[in-house]
Amino acid sequence: MLKSPKTPDTHDDDSNAGRRVPTPHTGQGATQIPSADRDLTGEIRVQQAAVRQEVGEDLSLRVRNLSVYYGDFQALDSIDLDIAKGRVTALIGPSGCGKSTLLRCFDRMNDLVPSFRMTGSIDFEGEELVGYGVDPVVIRRRIGMVFQKPNPFPKSIFDNVAFGPRVNGYKGDLKELIERSLRRAALWDEVKDDLKKNALALSGGQQQRLCIARAIAVSPEVILMDEPCSALDPVATLKIEDLMRELAEEYTIVVVTHNMQQAARVSDYTAFLLAADDRTGRLVEFAPTNDIFTNPKDSRTEDYITGRYG
C-alpha cells in the first residue's frame, strides 16, 4: 500500500482533481539540437503512440501521458513509458531533455520543488503513485535513489547502511542486515574489517557502492540511479556496471546515463528523450536496448547514439 493515514499537502485545480499539484520554478535550458515536432496537442501525441512499445513483461512502473511543469516552463510533454519489473531500463538523451526530471517523478522527489506540477499518471505495481492519501515517504521506502555524486553521511560505514533500517524501526539482526547489504553492493570484502571507519574516507567508487548498500538496506523494489558513474574512474565505473546487472536479479533498476556504451552494456530497455527549441523533453523512441543501438526506428535516435549531436 502506498497510502498512509496522513495525507500529504495537496491542492486542486480544475484539470487535476485528485492529483497533487504543487506550485512552480524554472528549468535548465537544453542543448540546441535537431528536433521534434512542436505541436503539443496533435502531432506529438500521434508520434508518441507510434513510438511507444509495450514491453510485454510484468511492469513495475507504467507512465501515461505524463507532462511536467516548473512554473510556466514545461519540462516534459506527454510521456508514455513502461518500466519492466526485474529489468534495467536506461534513460538517454542530451543534457536538458528531462531525463532526471522523469526519474525523480518515480520517487516523488520533484514534490520538494515548490514550482513543480504534473499531469498524466504513473502507476507503481498497479497503484496510482500520485494522488490524495499517497504518502511520498512510503514510496521512497519502496523506490530508492542513488545520486550522481556519492553522498555518504559523515558517519561510520556501519551507521550509513544502518540509517534507513533504524529510522524505519527495523527489529531484526542489524549486523546481519548490514553485512548482507554490503555484500549485495560488492563492498563487504573491502570494508568488513573497518566498519567503524568514516565513510568519507572511502574512495569515490567505494562511496557510491556504499550509497547503493544504504539504498538496498531498506529492501526497496525499485532502484533509481541518476548518472551513478559520472564522477568515477573507469575501474570504479566497471564495478558499478557489474553491480547493476547483479542487482537486476532482485530489483527493478532505472538509470540515467550520458554514456552510450554503458547504456548498451547494462540495460535491457532504453528510452531516448529529446528537447526541441521549446526546451520541452519528449520521448522519441523506446525499445529493447539491442534494437535501439542496432536498428533505431527514428533518425534522431541514430544521430544521437552515433555522436552527431548531444
- Entry pTM: 0.81
Q: What are the DSSP E strand ranges found in the chain?
A: 59-70, 73-84, 88-92, 116-124, 127-128, 143-146, 222-226, 252-256, 269-275, 281-288
CB-count burial class (<10 Å; 0-12, 13-18, 19+) for 256: buried
Using pLDDT thresholds of 50, 70 and 90, give the confidence band for residue 288: very high
Q: Which of 46-55, 92-101, 225-234, 251-260 has the lowest mean pLDDT?
A: 46-55
C-alpha angle 261-122-277 in degrees, rounded to nearest 5: 60
Question: Residue 5: its pLDDT value, please?
Answer: 44
Question: Residue 166: its pLDDT value, please?
Answer: 93
A 10 A CB-CB count for 299 gives: 11
Structural contact between residues 276 and 96, judged by C-beta atoms closer than 8 angstroms: no
Q: Please, what sign has the CA dihedral across residues 46, 47, 53, 54?
A: negative
Given a cut of 90, is residue 161 above it in pLDDT?
Answer: yes
A 10 A CB-CB count for 52 gives: 19
- The span from the CA of 123 to the CA of 281, in Å, is 21
Q: Quick one: average pLDDT of 123-150?
A: 88
Grid cell at residue 171: 527489529
Given a cut of 70, is residue 14 above it in pLDDT?
Answer: no
Given a cut of 80, is residue 179 above it in pLDDT?
Answer: yes
Q: Quick one: average pLDDT of 178-202?
A: 94
Grid cell at residue 30: 537544453
Q: Count the residues in the chain.
A: 310
Question: Residue 57: its pLDDT value, please?
Answer: 74
Structural contact between residues 81 and 101, judged by C-beta atoms closer than 8 angstroms: no
Question: Residue 29: its pLDDT value, please?
Answer: 36
Grid cell at residue 41: 496537442
| Pairing mode of beta strands 59-70, 73-84 | antiparallel
Q: Which of 44-58, 179-193, 275-289 has the lowest mean pLDDT?
A: 44-58
Architecture of the domain whose range is 86-108+133-305: 3-Layer(aba) Sandwich (3.40)
Question: Residue 50: its pLDDT value, please?
Answer: 52
Q: Quick one: average pLDDT of 38-66?
A: 64
First to last CA, the chain: 40
Q: Quick one: average pLDDT of 274-293?
A: 91
Identity of the residue numbered 187: L
Q: What are phi and psi of 64, to 5 degrees?
A: -135, 125
Question: Residue 116: its pLDDT value, please?
Answer: 94
- Between 87 and 31, residue with greater pLDDT: 87
Q: Which residues pair with 144 in a beta bridge?
A: 223
Question: Residue 54: its pLDDT value, please?
Answer: 55
Using pLDDT thresholds of 50, 70 and 90, give the confidence band for residue 28: very low
Given a cut of 90, is residue 293 above it in pLDDT?
Answer: yes
Q: Quick one: average pLDDT of 251-258?
A: 94
Structural contact between residues 191 and 157, judged by C-beta atoms closer than 8 angstroms: yes
pLDDT digits (tens, 9 = 90+) for 59-96: 899 999 999 999 999 999 999 999 999 999 999 999 99
Comparing CA positions, the residue from 236, 284, 294 lying closest to residue 264 is 294
Given a cut of 90, is residue 177 above it in pLDDT?
Answer: yes
Using pLDDT thresholds of 50, 70 and 90, give the confidence band for residue 15: very low
Percent of the chain with pLDDT over 90: 58
- Mapped onto helix, strand or coil, the DSSP state of residue 231 is coil
